[in-house]
Structure formats: C-alpha cells, structure tokens
Amino acid sequence: MLILVGLGNPGAKYASNRHNIGFMAADVIHTRHRFPAWRKNFQAEVSEGTIDGERVLLMKPQTYMNESGRSVGDAVRFLKLAPSDVVVIHDELDLPPGKLRMKVGGGHGGHNGLRSITSQITDGYRRMRLGIGHPGDKALVHAHVLSDFAKADRDWLVRLLDAIADNAGELVKGADSTFANRVHAITEPKPERKPKPEAAADKPAPGGEPAPEKPPEKNAMAAILKGLLSQKTRR
C-alpha cells in the first residue's frame, strides 16, 4: 500500500491558501480516480482506493500543518509501512509557481509540516514539491503561504493538478522521474502562435455556418477551482 498525504490546514478559512495546495492535489486525485467518500481516521480525512491496480490511502491531516506528523505517524505505524511507502504533497517556496519536483529524504527546508512528519517517521519518505514561488523577503513568507491563490494563478494551478491526477499511476509504481517528466511536459508553457486570419473566432465556418462553440473545460475540478479561487475568504 502507498499513502498519499496532501498537506494543508483544515477549514474554509484556509481552503484557497497557497499552503493548501497539497489538500487541493489530494482532492483532484480523489475525484479523478473515483475514490469513495472521505471518512475520519488517523486524525485525518482518509479515503482508500486503487490507482492502476495499486492500493492507495489518500490522507488530508486535520491536525493543522504544524502537527501533520501526528496523523501520518499514526497511519504508518498502524499499517506497518515504511517511510518509503509515503508520498507527501506540499507547497514549496523555493520553486517557481507551477513547477513540480520529486525528492526522497533530505531536510525540511523550514517547512513545519515536513518537520513534524520527519519527527514521527524519519526523513525517508518521498516528497512531491509543488512550487508556489517566494515573496522575495523572508519577513513576508508567513503572509504569502497563508494568503489565497490569485485569479491569475488559476490556469497554471488547474493544469498542474490535472497533470498530477492524470499521471498518478507512475507515482504509485515508484517511477518518480517518469511522473515528474510527464507533468513537466504537460504544464510547461507552450509558445503562443498567432492565429491565421481565416481562423478568427468570429469568422463563419465553410458553408456559411457559424464556427463551432469552444468545448467545455476538461473536467469538473477546473470549474470547482475556478469558483474556489474567485471567492474572497472571510477573515
């Protein structure tokens, strides 16, 4: 069994925060792979399902970020798993927004969620680091991670979360490099091409018929995130 842990803080107040990108990734994986409803266990919201035939326990610790290790430690000890059977999905200040890197072991880099998990299960777990960018001043970090994603972030965020869910099969097989490369290929911005004059959106299609309407967005999660990121959280 593999444990996929999305890190974040529980409650509507934090739902759209940059610090909660791990929760968001877990939610998209949950929806895309048709996991059963979330339930309470191990001081977390959990759901057990399969991805490409492999058993996976999705977790969203409800202990708040700084105590995430209590939840993860409970699950690892109960299920008798090794740290290498755990993938932690978390926000990463040292990566540009939308970038993903996989890593095994190493320090916590000042991330309190990782610090807590390491204290419980050692540092031998796998990390999925999701870039949220750095505000440029250490004094601004706290406010940056606990502020909401902007509407302008929505496009790259949806692409990233969709790519993670679509390629989760590589993740559960332990093919971290292949997983990261596939996500990168999907999320890397493509050069813009100027449309040909005859391809203009308002030009009728051959035969005098109006041009077909733009197809709907890829999946419901894009619409959900659109609503989530367009709302202003009440403080």
Distances (CA, A) of 21 to 6, 158, 189: 8, 11, 20
Q: Which two tokens stand for residue 139?
A: 């004094």
For residue 108, indicate whether it is catalytic.
Answer: no
Round to whole Å and give the CA distance between 119 and 63.
Answer: 15
Query: 175 Cβ partners below 8 Å, 6+ apart?
Result: none
Q: Catalytic pick from 19, 30, 33, 111?
A: 19
Give the residue numbers marked as catalytic.
19
